[in-house]
Each structure stands twice: as C-alpha cells, then as structure tokens.
Chains A and B, each alone.
Chain A
C-alpha cells in the first residue's frame, strides 16, 4: 500500500521526476519514455516500478507493450498523504481515549 514516505522517496530522484514529466503529456510505452533520457531503458523500467509501487503511475498491457500513465489529478500522492494522516490521527485518538479512561478509573 502506498504511504507518504514511499511517495516522497519515489519523487526524490531527478530521473523519476523526469519520467513523470514525460507522462504528463499522456500515456506512453517504456521505449518512448526512455528516449532522450540519459539512462538505459532497463533503468527506466526500474524507475517506473518504483513510481508504480508508490501509486504515482499505473500501467496496462497493449498487445506486447506495457503502457504507463500518470494519475492526472495527483490522487496517488493525496491518497498516500491521507493514509499517513489517518494513521497518525487514530494513534493520537487511541492514546487520548486510553489516557482519559485510566483517569476516570482512578
């Protein structure tokens, strides 16, 4: 599952940011993404894997090719952020509920 740390780790790399920039114009296969980038095609595939695991891009098959696309609304990042937010919030809530419960018992 995507989380904020993973999203921002994924973004903290100039090549991966360049890959995302290219996908903003529309879905593309790996070869087209790699064209003009100063890294090998297998390296681009590896970067795409990291971006996919972070929920920032998605892929689908088209014949023998794999087409990558970005979420145009940035919802992957938003969702990751909310995921982290609710984790933090629920932990804080549980701590407060248990603290108050103990106090009442005393």
Chain B
C-alpha cells in the first residue's frame, strides 16, 4: 500500500518544582534513578540506563552482569536548557544503528521551578524499518504484540 499515515510527534510537558540546572541534571545524569522499571530493556531491576553527558555521548542500558545495550546517543548537549537525544529502538525494542528518532527535551525556568517539554519525533521512521512489527501484526498471533505492549503500559 502506498499510503503512509504519518504519526504526529509525541509531545509532553511537565512542571518540576526544582531549579533548571537541577532538573537537567536529574534528567540526564540521574536517568537511572527515575526511568520506569517496567521499561528497562534488559528487564532486570538492577539494570539502569546511562546517558554520557556530552554531544556524541552514548545512551545505553547497563545490566547487572556488566553487559551493555545501546538505546541511542546524545545528538546535542546544551546544559541546562536542552538536550537532543537519538532514540534508536525499533518497535520491538531492539537497537538499530540506522534508525534515528529524536527526543528533544527542553528545560525553561518558570516561577519557582522548571517547565520541562519533551518531544519524540520522526516516529514514521520506526514504521519504515518496522518489518518485525509488521510481521508481528500480520501473524496469526498478531494482536499479541499490542496486548503485550498494553500490559506493560498499564502495569505502571
């Protein structure tokens, strides 16, 4: 089918009652302290994501056994106002070095705290490389993937 539905970026905004530099530091350096446990790629409670604090730095998942799984990388590093990350996971959560979706996070002082805006964009690129997802959806157990994703999302 030639028709491609282009998904809108996912946009989220949240107010954090903490100074801008602190919010930036917790988001990046402290990502292992808040990343939802249910979404850790390795699946173990001891796994934690790491963002290397510089442009070109790696974003990876560190497992308890010392092994590392790539998630993406730091495209632009502008503390304390902004970080642009590459999310390089396919629909079935495997790393694909040729896939780049962007997660831009901005931190703006607002009153006594910080407004944090997040945009995850170019999601259609996941579709372009979503052979595995297409197979999963087309297979006899196709709805299994969606239901699995749902149970993960609702297990929060």
A residues lining the B interface (CB < 8 Å): 4-5, 7-8, 11, 17, 24, 26-27, 55, 58, 69, 71-79, 81-98, 100-101, 104
Given A24-B138, A86-B10, A97-B22, the answer on whether A4 and B153 have CB atoms closer than 8 Å is yes
In the complex, A69 Cα to B120 Cα: how many Å? 25
User: Is the CB–CB distance between A58 and B5 below 8 Å?
Assistant: yes
In the complex, A105 Cα to B127 Cα: how many Å? 46
- 7 interchain residue pairs of minimum CB distance: A73-B127, A96-B34, A101-B18, A71-B5, A97-B26, A79-B7, A8-B150
Q: Which residues of B contact A76 (CB under 8 A)?
A: 5, 7
One of B7, B124, B133, B149 near A4 (C-beta < 8 A): B149
Q: Is B91 an interface residue (CB 8 A)?
A: yes
One of A4, A26, A82, A104 near B150 (C-beta < 8 A): A4
Q: Is B123 an interface residue (CB 8 A)?
A: yes
Total of A-B residue pairs, C-beta within 8 Å: 138
Total residues of chain B contacting the partner, CB 8 A: 46
Q: Is B130 an interface residue (CB 8 A)?
A: yes
User: Is the CB–CB distance between A7 and B150 below 8 Å?
Assistant: yes
Q: Is B111 an interface residue (CB 8 A)?
A: no
Instruction: Kindly supply a per-residue 1/0 record for chain B positions 1-43, scoring 1 wherever the CB is within 8 Å of any chain A CB and 0 otherwise.
Output: 1011101101010111111001100110010011110010000
**From A4, A82, A91, A97, residue with most partner B Cβ within 10 Å:** A97
User: Is the CB–CB distance between B130 and A87 below 8 Å?
Assistant: no
